Amino acid sequence: MTRKIPVVPCSGIGKSLGAAAREAAYVLTEDLRPDKTQVVALALLVMGDEEAKREVAGGQAIAIDGCKLECAAKGLASCGASKVHKAAIFDVVRRNRGLKPEGVCDLNEDGLKLAQAAAGEAAKIVDDIDAEDDHA
């Protein structure tokens, strides 16, 4: 793999699931797969930032969305990502019903656990993309 996989987290400011999505993106890109991924800000894509659009265009990317509006996935698709993989926080919540995330700036312990779980799922997506590239 020559270029890093863009990871675009939700911008759901003021929402705990948006905060968990952003935290998951940082866990993925800084801790779990730092050599293979990079965060690209959704705001830059929406504003038409040329550098951000270049990072996304023509390649596979991962959207980490906090709600069903899927703003990150839609932003990636509109900027030319060849394939958008989705790691939806609301789906991770369904699989981890005991977690009750709270907080918008500082997530509570459950919110951090949720972010870790979502980052783990996104890391599997990275591994699948990497394996696909190795067989291409």
The residue ranges of DSSP E strands in the chain, in sequence order, are 5-9, 37-39, 60-64, 83-86
Going along the chain from its start, the domains and CATH numbers come out as: 5-128 (3.40.50)
pLDDT tens, N- to C-terminus, the chain (136 residues): 478 999 999 988 889 999 999 999 999 999 999 999 999 999 999 999 999 999 999 999 999 999 999 999 999 999 999 999 999 999 999 999 999 999 988 999 999 999 999 999 999 999 999 998 877 6
Res 136: pLDDT: 63
Res 12: pLDDT: 85
Distance CA 122, CA 49 (A): 25
Distance CA 75, CA 63 (A): 9
Distance CA 60, CA 28 (A): 16
Res 125: pLDDT: 98
Q: Is the Cβ–Cβ distance between 113 and 21 less than 8 Å?
A: no
pTM recorded for the entire structure: 0.94
Res 76: pLDDT: 97
Total number of residues shown for the chain: 136
Sheet with 60-64: list strands edge to edge.
37-39, 5-9, 60-64, 83-86
Res 1: pLDDT: 47
The two three-digit tokens of residue 35, written as one number: 């050599």
Res 135: pLDDT: 72
